[in-house]
Structure formats: structure tokens, C-alpha cells
Structure 1
Amino acid sequence: MQSSFGATPDGLLDIEAVQKAINRSRASVYRYVNSDRQQLNPPYDPRKLNPELRTDHRDPLLFHPNEVARFARDVLKIRQVTVEVLNAPPTQTQELLTEILAELRQLRQLYESQVQHK
């Protein structure tokens, strides 16, 4: 099994991406998920697909790619599992952080060159 699909900016997969990755119906994916109406974040269950921690019941269920691969391999017995996450296009925040990092590197080089001359 090999899948390529988009992910959230932090690399997590939503229900639709998991559905495509393991080639199962949306209803099946929801049956596999370790969730509980009374408990926001139930304890880890190795027989279920465990979502990332949530802060509110209204937060969407998101899954780490390694958890999806583990579940497909160990529980569904899919022999060859490769989950490839394609990076989402850079957001304005990511571009700004990249520019800040470049400026910080320039400042560090300038500082180090001035320290060496003293």
C-alpha cells in the first residue's frame, strides 16, 4: 500500500486523508478511531487508530502519519505500508519565519566576523 496525499500545515492527516491512505470507507475509518463521547482524549489503544490530542470535542480528528502506518500494518495487516505526506504550500506565516531566519543568520555572521576582528 502506498499513498500520497495532502496534510495539515503541521503534517497531520484528517479523516479524508486517512480514508485514502488505508483505502477504507469513511464509516470504517470512524469505527477504527479511538474516540469516546464522554472522554476528550481516551487512553492509547493499540487495537484502534489513535488521534492526536484535542483540546475541545469540536476540534477535528487528526492523525500522525506514523500512527496511520502502524494501524494499517499491525491491525489491518496491510503488508507494505508507505504513508507519504506531501507538504502543503507555504503559508504567509511560514514565509515570514523563513525571512526572519535568514536575517538572523546574517546577523550571526556579522557578529561572528566582528568578534574575530577584536
Structure 2
Amino acid sequence: MFPRSIESGGGQVHQSAEFSVDPVVTSSQSEALVGIDDVQKSLNRSRASVYRYTNTDPRNLNPPFNPRKLNPEYRSDQKDPLLFHPNEVARFAKDVLRIKEVTVEVLNSPSTATQQMLGAILEELKQIRSHLEATDVAPSDLGAARRDRQERPAA
């Protein structure tokens, strides 16, 4: 899943890394993000060294981009886990660790109960929309009907 190999050919030794990640869905984005454990496995480094590579600052929750460090995604709270975009991990592996061949592969995770519920809601909203589009009452007619009801005196 996270192979990292050193290949030799023609007298030259070069490193290659391949990243396969499962997406972590957040409320504002549906990009595939990886946790510290996946970065550790993909870079074949210790957990402590990955934390040393990471661009963090105890005084600043989201420090500015540092090209010599592994930059995590935006966090809203100090307790949020460090998450990394696979392209950032690949950039770091290539530019800083000097791994020559880097391949990023994003795999879809199995459907969760939340994703299934959101799919059902989307289907229901599509049905409601098609039903509304099929009715003869135009939206402007609905507004006129509402005004007529408000103008009538109460009994």
C-alpha cells in the first residue's frame, strides 16, 4: 500500500516512493488527506523524524508555508490532528528528501453511514426538485397566492 523502494540500474542508485491514501472527508472539503501515520509509512521514517520535518509552531497554529518543511493543512484548533495533502507529502519527498521518483495515488474509501445518508438526502432533494418543476404553479404564482392569503381579513 505504501511501498518505498530503492532501485539500482546501470550503476545509478535512485529512490522511488509511491503514496496510496484513503480520503479523510472534512466538513469544508472532500480532498484526500493523510495522517501522520500514513506519512511515516510512506516516507519510511520514524514518527519522531516526521514530527521534526513538520512545519509547526507552538505559538502559531497555522504557520506560513515553509518550502524546507512538511506543511500540514489548515487547523482550526490545536487539538486537531495534523493532516497533509498527498501532493504536499510528494513535494516534500521530492524536494527536501531528494527522492527521485514520486507517485501519488488516491484511493476511494468504502462508503460510510454518513456518506450513504448524504446520498439519500441528495436523491430526495432531486425528487423534490423534479416534482416542483413538473407542477403547473409557477414560483411567481406562489408569491401572489401568499399575498392574497395575507390580505384577507381574519375571521
- TMscore range, shorter length: 0.7 to 0.9
Percent identity reads: 59
Partner of 2:73: 52
- AA in 1 matched with 2:127: Q
Give the secondary structure class of the aligned counterpart of 1:77. Answer: coil
What amino acid sits opposite 1:41 in the alignment?
N
**What is the alpha-carbon distance in structure 1 between the residues aligned to residue 79 and residue 99 of structure 2?**
31
Aligned runs of 1:1-118 on 2, under 5 Å? 1-10=17-26, 11-114=32-135
Structure with greater strand percent? 2
What do residues 55-106 of structure 1 show as CA deviations (whole Å, max 9, x unaligned)? Answer: 2222211111111111112211212212223333222221111111122223
What is the deviation of 1:29? Answer: 0.8
Q: Which runs of 5+ in 1 are unaligned?
A: none
Quick check: 81-90 or 21-30, which moved more? 81-90
Single out whichever of 78-87 and 42-51 deviates more from structure 2.
78-87
CA contact (8 A) 2:19 2:104 kept: yes
Q: Which has the higher helix share?
A: 1
Q: Which runs of 5+ in 2 are unaligned?
A: 1-16, 27-31, 137-155
- Report how far residue 8 of structure 1 moved: 2.4
Counterparts of 1:61 and 1:107, CA distance in 2: 40
By relative contact order (CA 8 Å, sep 6+), the higher-ranking structure is 1
Q: Return the alpha-carbon distance in structure 1 between the equivalents of residues 37 and 23 of structure 2.
A: 10
**Secondary structure of 1:2's partner?**
strand
Residues in 1 aligned to 2:85 and 2:19: alpha-carbon distance in whole angstroms: 14
Give the superposition deviation at 1:7.
4.1
